[in-house]
Structure 1
Amino acid sequence: MSILVVAEKPSVAMSYAKVLGATSRKDGYFEGNGYLVSWCIGHLVELAPPNVYDAKYVKWSIADLPILPQKWQYLVSASTKKQFGSLQKLMHRPDVDSIVNSCDAGREGELIFRLVYQQTGCKKPFSRLWLSSMEENAIREGFVHLKPSTEYDALYNAALCRERADWMVGINASRLFSCLYNQSLAVGRVMTPVLAMTVVREAAIAAFVPEKFYTVDLELTSGCTASSRRIPEKTVAENLLEACRKEMVATIQRITCKEKSENPPPLYDLTTLQRDANRLLGYSAQQTLDYVQSLYEKKLTTYPRTDSCYITDDDEEMLEELTEELEGFLDIAPEDVDEAVPRTRRTVNREKVTDHHAILPTRSMLQADLDALPKGEQNVLKLIIARTLMAVSKPFRYLETLLTTECAGEEFTAKGKDILEEGWKAVERKVLADILNRKQELTALPNAAENECGILNAELKEGQTSPPKHFTEDTLLHAMETASADSMPEGVERQGIGTPATRAATIEKLVQKGFLERKGNKKTKVLLPTDKGKALITVMPEEIQSPEMTADWETKLLQIERGEMEPSEFMTEINTMITELVKNTEMKKGANALMKSKIIGVCPNCGKPVVEREKGWFCENRECRFVLWKDNAFFKRLGKRLDAHVADKLLRDGRVRLKDCKSAKGKTYNATVLLSCEADGRSKFSLEFEGGC
């Protein structure tokens, strides 16, 4: 008899097959040593679109809303039918008596496997492989200690609720607002509140009125510069400057020294890694996720999609050994170890480790050829190595000195810092020197006594209050992570918006849909809402754009995952909210002008305006079938794109001249594309040649 192992991706399946001895490559799977190892390709099975439930849903109409399926239907993705067919045959093979769900160890991995299992009609028993590392010994250990599938039923229920809630909000809200405002508007449970955050931030920046302030700076003979408080009135500051210049003597009233320390940063979870990679390297959240996922599959780091910055006590000995090996690998002298309290102790918190511990480098990494890695992966790995060593290092200790002096009846202060023990900052400096590119942060104050000292110079400095900063990917991820924390009752699990695994995709989707845009230089890019994004949020009701509601849902999904809430209760809430939304939403007054689509010409079929939308240029007349698709097959065959300039020429002149078109044989030629209409109004193209192909 054989055991069928189902991985999430072909690359992961290859790693499992190697360890299990399934070395014979077949069409869609590996076989050998009593194992069949196959794979999904992402989501093989997806929720069916509305028209599968009822053909009337092909046409969007408010009268047909809300769409709330009673019995959910699923379809096999058209692009992955072949692999689904392979899995179906394998699951029903007579010699297969049990199955191992080896998809990624998280909510989505659980959903991917179970939907395939159910869609194939399989009834055979299955168990769960749950890994935090792709190293060979971890894989062997995982297969020896497979988990019962029932332990993950609640995780699957949470995944189902998340998928179905997102479908219901997306389908109903997108159709509702698209019909109300007569254009295609994409609305999402997580996407829309995130967009709203950026719109609110930009509104605060636009409304900000800077206020000037003034300070007087005194250069003292003791060797430091002391500054006055911020003074709003220029004349008051000028009078103080004049008085100080007359006196030219300051009295040092007190010098206070206070020892301070900064604890090491915790280990990385996915979001903090994405934030650092954006801030220090300029990588987008999606780029960082792609890099660390590849590192995981190459056995160089542990599982990336984690929301924990800690390890369990079971892993403490492993981390201590890994730390010593990393120090040897990087030729860093280990710190003096306190025998009473292991240096790894502050990284241990079993309560804060749910599915997976923090992201760590693996021991396999120590033997790998890191120079062969792509630069992005090298940099992300360097961040993970540095953070691992920093987390187990001593605190950064320094002496903060505050000097207070008086002149012309006003107090002036100067601050200085002296390093007492560099601690974790020494690791940061040594390992991340090329990434940080940071200047000396600390300035020590010269020795001074409490007495009079001379003033070498006095000058007036002008400043002004700063507006809130535009969101970067770093700060937007942080805002998503902490959304609604202030409004949640004490003791409630604070999940923010989205999960570490989905936040990057949410940002990318907003950019792809044209609601957000990245602006700035290569390393520091800000995320700004477009006019389209601002318009969408202006017409959205509060409950759809509120971070509180979405964060509350995330908390409830976590409760379902833990078996603390019934899925039916959650889905009833979603149904009620969507029903109320459809019933109570009306077009906002004055919003039509705001949501006006860009008219680029006149329809050659019916004479009504043609407007630009996300996927093309459409006739405003809903009965007319004329459209110029942006992803146009006719233009693709010519090696060209149908862009705004080409669409404008076609609608204005009925023709557009194109240079350097490509024939099927690779030859180039010039030609004119002529636009006409089919009998039913659809666009039709033909070519007029200037010379032979």
Structure 2
Amino acid sequence: MKVIIAEKPSVAKNIAEAIDAKQRRDGFFEGKDYIVTWAFGHLLELYDSKDYDEKMGSWRMDNFPFIPEVFKYKVKQDSNDRSQVDQGAYKQIETIKSLINREEVTGVISACDYDREGQIIGDIILDYLEVSKPVERLLLNEWTADEVKQGMQKLVSNTTMRPLSDAGIGRQWADWIIGINLTSVATLKYKRGGSKALNIGRVLLPTLKIIYDRDLEIENFVKEEFHKLTGNFTGLSEGSEAYEGNYYEDGKDKFEDKGQLEKIKELIGKKEFEITEKIVEQKKEYPPSLFNLSGLQGHVTGKFKGWTSDKVLKVAQELYEKKLITYPRTASLALEESLFDKAQKVLSVHKKGLPYEEEIKFHKGKRVFDNSKVESHSAIIPTYMTAKGLSPDEKVVYESVKNRFIMQFMPIAEHEEVTLHTKPKEHTEEFPESGVFISKGRTQKVEGWRKVEKIQSKEKLLPALEIGDEIKLLKLKIDTKGTQPPKHHTEKTLLRVMETCGKKLKTAKESASDTETDADSDEDENEVDDVDDTNQDSEEEVELLKSILSGFSIGTPATRAETITKLKRVGYITAKGKSLICSEMGRKLVETLPVKTLFDLEYTGKLEKTLSDISKGEVPKSAFLDLIVKFTEEAVDQIKQDAFHIIYEDTSQQKPRGDSLGKCPGCGADVVEGEKGYGCINWKGGCKFVVWKEDRFLSSLKVSPSKQTVVRLLENGELFSRSFVNKKGDKFSAYLRYELNKETGYYSWKMHF
């Protein structure tokens, strides 16, 4: 008898059905040879800092940096009341413990998701329970009955998964170290009022910087004006249709000097023209690649209103747990070559009844099956299960995955591109030798895979003209246009930048349609074109794959959506339609926080790459954590030493503050009157400047500070009085300075005469 631990109840149910463990109990399923139980994702969580040391219960700048000697775990706390243990999680942990401790149980099978987080969900539970019985690992890409049965025949020892576990634990501990320390000191230093913290994170800040940089590009954009000359022509034969051509000279059709085009216009206004060249090209259009998670999120958020990348992931996860699609948190754009038979079976199920069923032909081409394009998990495809009773949201995601899969086995789309060169019949010295009007047309010859989602081809027909045909000029027009600023990031474009860690990769289509449009043009935000019209895998696609598969990225497919959602939730960015824009608080954070490394895409990419290398057994976890600790200690010191400024002030529940009495000599913040003294408003940021109303030293001199006293002290740096009284009761005159003791960090009075 063995205990199988699944990541969620729905997956446990799928496993139980496949292995005939049909008896439902409280917290598990039981069969003849197996007991199937489950977690609810993470049942355990890392200790809070105050769990290690009571003094960490209150945030004080002096307490940081704080690095635990040994990281410990506890049953997760109730999300509604952090002071209480989550009773559901506690009960399930006890259930798992009791099942494993049964005398007849000889071993455990971890069946959590086959990824970094899934590995540690199982491992942390097993370590917490101090399980000594043998542990095996079930590694699957989907939860259909066939896959579960096959997977149970190919179990591996959980010890072989140690590198993946190290990567997951390393990521978790690193984010705790950076998050706890830098969030605390940044909040103490730069935020006033309210209960919410300034969130500082390893993945959060570089993502914010991407949006900030794009906003800045837009604000600093300087429009460059240019001019184009367009001609309208027609053939001389009866019924010949008109067509349009753009004037080119030395290979360019955009001109800074409008006068240059006006001369050409005047020169050729009454000339006769002819076709001097006709180029006909037959082009193939391959379908866009299978989806990885970022691709699926970009496709859905770009095509459908009201969708976020986080929502796409949640719906995809539900479909995965319902056995309808394969593992969604993948970075791969192709299938493993071992999946030929499986893919053929899936295709045979889903093509039935389609109006273009006869055109769907299975093949083993490298665009679909390529081990070099797969990292851990293959691309997302449907399973052989047929979907029934899907919700509208589930249908959007499921149909997107299914259609993209079917596209791969449809005929390659083909179109014909025709280019006509129109020039004056008689060449004159005034007309440039390279001057020519170029017209382009496109005719779709084979729809192929475009039929699957009824993607309309953008046809532009040219009249049937041949070289030497005489042409009549109908009209010449000069248009003044201008370059346009880049557009704000959307979730689709942001995911691509995160996936490639900011590498500026362009597809052939993007390069051909740069941001040069009429000043008054208004592009339809809802128009989506996911089609890659290249004939072969372009250099950009190859570089994209290298970047994705190397692990050099910001976050992982599983975490990017939550990062974008969190940026909105904490108020660093706002969404306007599909556009993502940096908020005032987000801007101040980028511009103010002195730890610039945290915003560096290159640095963040290296950290993620290191985690990827740990998962492959190429780098030890300890080396990574040593790097994180050193970075955090230096970053905390940078913030502590930084000048005083406020990034965000929440005044909604804040008591009105008194007028400023002057600037603090220590940090430059305002000094105000409080109930017990006159202090710096930056006390949460670690500033110790305060003159107590019942100061012991001043009391011994028979004086007490007033507002005017503190104002003079701040203005002059010292106080003078003839009214000080010594121990004998005699009055005397002296100067007082209030100086910082660098050893203690506190201010004290110094007298001189």
Query: What is the aligned partner in structure 1 of residue 176 from structure 2?
Result: 167
Shift of 1:218: 0.8
Query: What is the aligned partner in structure 2 of residue 499 from structure 1?
Result: 556
Q: 2:186 aligns with which of 166, 177, 187?
A: 177
Q: 1:312 aligns with which of 336, 341, 358?
A: 336
Would the alpha carbon gap of residues 361 and 193 (structure 1) be closer, same or farther in structure 2, given more than 3 Å must change? same
Whole-Å separation in 1 of the counterparts to 2:640 and 2:302 = 42
Query: What is the aligned partner in structure 2 of residue 36 from structure 1?
Result: 35
- The correspondence of residues 452-531 of structure 1 with structure 2, limited to 5 A, is 452-485=470-503, 493-520=550-577, 525-531=578-584
Would the alpha carbon gap of residues 243 and 588 (structure 1) be closer, same or farther in structure 2, given more than 3 Å must change? farther
Amino acid across the alignment from 1:264: P
Whole-Å separation in 1 of the counterparts to 2:546 and 2:315 = 35
Query: What is the aligned partner in structure 1 of residue 736 from structure 2?
Result: none
- The correspondence of residues 309-388 of structure 1 with structure 2, limited to 5 A, is 309-335=333-359, 342-365=363-386, 368-369=387-388, 372-388=389-405
SS in 2 for 1:330: coil
Is residue 2:243 matched to residue 1:224?
A: yes
Report Cα offsets for 1:296-346 as digits up to 9, x if no partner.
Answer: 1121111111111222222112223332332224242334869xxx35443
- The correspondence of residues 156-305 of structure 1 with structure 2, limited to 5 A, is 156-183=165-192, 184-222=197-235, 223-228=242-247, 229-244=253-268, 246-247=269-270, 249-282=272-305, 283-305=307-329
SS in 2 for 1:256: strand
Query: What is the aligned partner in structure 2 of residue 443 from structure 1?
Result: 460
User: With CA pairs under 8 Å and 6+ residues apart, which has the higher RCO, 1 or 2?
Assistant: 2
TM-score (norm 1): 0.80
Shift of 1:31: 2.0
Q: 1:117 aligns with which of 117, 126, 140?
A: 126
Answer yes or no: is the 8 Å Cα contact 1:181–1:587 preserved in 2: no
Q: Which moved more, 1:128-137 or 1:251-260?
A: 251-260
SS in 2 for 1:209: coil
Q: 1:393 aligns with which of 410, 413, 433?
A: 410
Report Cα offsets for 1:269-289 as digits up to 9, x if no partner.
Answer: 111111111111232111111
SS in 1 for 2:335: coil
Answer yes or no: is the 8 Å Cα contact 2:340–2:364 preserved in 1: no
Q: Which moved more, 1:542-551 or 1:306-315?
A: 306-315
Answer yes or no: is the 8 Å Cα contact 1:485–1:496 preserved in 2: no
Query: What is the aligned partner in structure 2 of residue 148 from structure 1?
Result: 157
- The correspondence of residues 89-128 of structure 1 with structure 2, limited to 5 A, is 89-128=98-137
Whole-Å separation in 1 of the counterparts to 2:124 and 2:337 = 35
Shift of 1:348: 1.5
Report Cα offsets for 1:429-477 as digits up to 9, x if no partner.
Answer: x3323xx6x4x41213222223341111222223210111111111000
Whole-Å separation in 1 of the counterparts to 2:366 and 2:200 = 45
Shift of 1:411: 2.5
Answer yes or no: is the 8 Å Cα contact 1:556–1:565 preserved in 2: yes
How many correspondences in the alignment?
A: 591
Answer yes or no: is the 8 Å Cα contact 1:7–1:103 preserved in 2: yes
Whole-Å separation in 2 of the counterparts to 1:321 and 1:249 = 63
Query: What is the aligned partner in structure 2 of residue 583 from structure 1?
Result: 637
Amino acid across the alignment from 2:165: Y
Report Cα offsets for 1:340-399 as digits up to 9, x if no partner.
Answer: xx354431112332322111111112xx42xx2111111211111111122233433322
Answer yes or no: is the 8 Å Cα contact 1:107–1:156 preserved in 2: yes
Whole-Å separation in 2 of the counterparts to 1:389 and 1:94 = 50
Shift of 1:621: 6.6
Report Cα offsets for 1:225-274 as digits up to 9, x if no partner.
Answer: 00121122344444444444x32533433222233323332211111111
Answer yes or no: is the 8 Å Cα contact 1:498–1:554 preserved in 2: yes
Query: What is the aligned partner in structure 1 of residue 436 from structure 2?
Result: 411
Whole-Å separation in 2 of the counterparts to 1:85 and 1:271 = 37
Amino acid across the alignment from 1:466: Q
- The correspondence of residues 544-693 of structure 1 with structure 2, limited to 5 A, is 544-585=598-639, 592=645, 595-600=647-652, 603=655
Answer yes or no: is the 8 Å Cα contact 1:324–1:334 preserved in 2: no
Whole-Å separation in 1 of the counterparts to 2:100 and 2:443 = 67
Amino acid across the alignment from 1:406: K
Answer yes or no: is the 8 Å Cα contact 1:343–1:393 preserved in 2: no
Would the alpha carbon gap of residues 489 and 350 (structure 1) be closer, same or farther in structure 2, given more than 3 Å must change? closer
Answer yes or no: is the 8 Å Cα contact 1:344–1:392 preserved in 2: no
SS in 1 for 2:318: helix
Would the alpha carbon gap of residues 129 and 336 (structure 1) be closer, same or farther in structure 2, given more than 3 Å must change? closer
Q: Which moved more, 1:535-544 or 1:561-570?
A: 535-544
SS in 2 for 1:37: strand
Whole-Å separation in 1 of the counterparts to 2:448 and 2:350 = 17
Whole-Å separation in 2 of the counterparts to 1:179 and 1:186 = 12
Answer yes or no: is the 8 Å Cα contact 2:360–2:409 preserved in 1: no
Answer yes or no: is the 8 Å Cα contact 2:418–2:441 preserved in 1: yes
Query: What is the aligned partner in structure 2 of residue 535 from structure 1?
Result: 588
Amino acid across the alignment from 1:205: I
Report Cα offsets for 1:180-221 as digits up to 9, x if no partner.
Answer: 214431011001100110001000001111122221211101
Amino acid across the alignment from 1:90: L
Whole-Å separation in 2 of the counterparts to 1:559 and 1:602 = 48
SS in 2 for 1:221: strand
Whole-Å separation in 2 of the counterparts to 1:267 and 1:97 = 42
Whole-Å separation in 1 of the counterparts to 2:302 and 2:117 = 28
Shift of 1:423: 3.1
SS in 1 for 2:381: coil
Answer yes or no: is the 8 Å Cα contact 1:248–1:456 preserved in 2: no
Would the alpha carbon gap of residues 39 and 532 (structure 1) be closer, same or farther in structure 2, given more than 3 Å must change? same
Q: Which moved more, 1:315-324 or 1:355-364?
A: 315-324
Whole-Å separation in 2 of the counterparts to 1:60 and 1:608 = 26
TM-score (norm 2): 0.74
Answer yes or no: is the 8 Å Cα contact 1:20–1:33 preserved in 2: no
* CA RMSD between the two structures: 2.7
Would the alpha carbon gap of residues 607 and 93 (structure 1) be closer, same or farther in structure 2, given more than 3 Å must change? farther
Whole-Å separation in 1 of the counterparts to 2:243 and 2:545 = 46
Would the alpha carbon gap of residues 47 and 601 (structure 1) be closer, same or farther in structure 2, given more than 3 Å must change? closer
Answer yes or no: is the 8 Å Cα contact 2:551–2:612 preserved in 1: no
Is residue 2:9 matched to residue 1:10?
A: yes
Structure 1: gaps (5+ residues): 610-618, 625-693
Whole-Å separation in 2 of the counterparts to 1:181 and 1:445 = 64
Answer yes or no: is the 8 Å Cα contact 2:10–2:322 preserved in 1: no
Answer yes or no: is the 8 Å Cα contact 1:517–1:528 preserved in 2: yes
Whole-Å separation in 2 of the counterparts to 1:67 and 1:312 = 45
Answer yes or no: is the 8 Å Cα contact 2:117–2:168 preserved in 1: yes
Shift of 1:588: 5.7
Would the alpha carbon gap of residues 26 and 181 (structure 1) be closer, same or farther in structure 2, given more than 3 Å must change? same
Whole-Å separation in 2 of the counterparts to 1:76 and 1:528 = 38
Whole-Å separation in 1 of the counterparts to 2:90 and 2:544 = 47
Amino acid across the alignment from 1:401: V
Answer yes or no: is the 8 Å Cα contact 1:174–1:187 preserved in 2: yes
